Structure 1
Amino acid sequence: MSIVKMNAITVPADSGDELARRFAARAGALDGVDGFLGFELLQPTDGRTTWLVVTRWLDEATYDAWVASASFAAGHGRGDDGEGRPRPLGVASEVWSFAVAGGSSEA
């Protein structure tokens, strides 16, 4: 059964566009990763400043393997490391985990 991981990232009110830009720059980065089924970045439309990064995985094992990978480490580097990476935008972040319990085959 597939699983869903959501990263709820709270950013300053004026940083949402930059968050979206950074995710767009990495579009396709997970394509081809074993067990990866899909990704969406959800922008709040109700005045909130928490964005949702929604990923779908074949199972917990394939998600855990990705988190332990060099690819994950490179994509989640912390800024100011002397390599020119921008500082993280999030002021808070938490990962939520779900198993798909039902739904429609239409996306």
Structure 2
Amino acid sequence: MSIVKINAITVPADSGDELGRRFAAHGGSMAGVAGFEGFELLRPTDGRTQWLVLTRWADEQSFEAWKSSEDFARSHGRGPGRGAGVEASGRPTPVGTSSELWSYTVAVEQQ
């Protein structure tokens, strides 16, 4: 059964659109990643400042392998080939002020 990883990113109100643009710019970048089943970026609609990055994986090993990959490092500003939003120091300008990773298994699924 699938596992779900949710990265809850606290984002100042004036930075949410930039977070959305950054994720959109990487559309399709997860294609072909072993065990990756899907992704959604959820924008808050109730005044909260936490955006949710929801990913679904075949298993924990697939998620951990992706976290250890060069693709993960690059997409999170820790490798060569960084994209837009880079400070003079070469580090990406952060959009979020903090984040927290939540882990779940699917208890009941309806289609």
TM-score under structure 2 length normalisation:
0.87
Provide the secondary structure at the position in 2 that maps to 1:15: helix
Instruction: Measure the CA separation in 2 of the matches of 1:48 and 1:4.
Output: 22
1:89 equivalent in structure 2: 95
Deviation of the 1:63 alpha carbon: 0.3
Show structure 1 runs of 5+ residues with no match. Answer: none
- Runs of 4+ in structure 1 deviating by more than 6 angstroms, as ranges, are none
TM-score under structure 1 length normalisation:
0.91
1:4 equivalent in structure 2: 4
CA deviation profile, 1:22-78 (whole Å, cap 9, x unmatched): 100011111110000000000000011100000000000000000000000000115
Give 2:72's aligned amino acid. Answer: F
User: How many correspondences in the alignment?
Assistant: 104
Identity rate, percent: 62
Give 2:26's aligned amino acid. Answer: R
2:30 matches 1:24: no
2:87 matches 1:80: yes
Show structure 2 runs of 5+ residues with no match. Answer: 79-85
Instruction: Measure the CA separation in 1 of the matches of 2:8 and 2:26.
Output: 18
1:98 equivalent in structure 2: 104
Provide the secondary structure at the position in 2 that maps to 1:65: helix
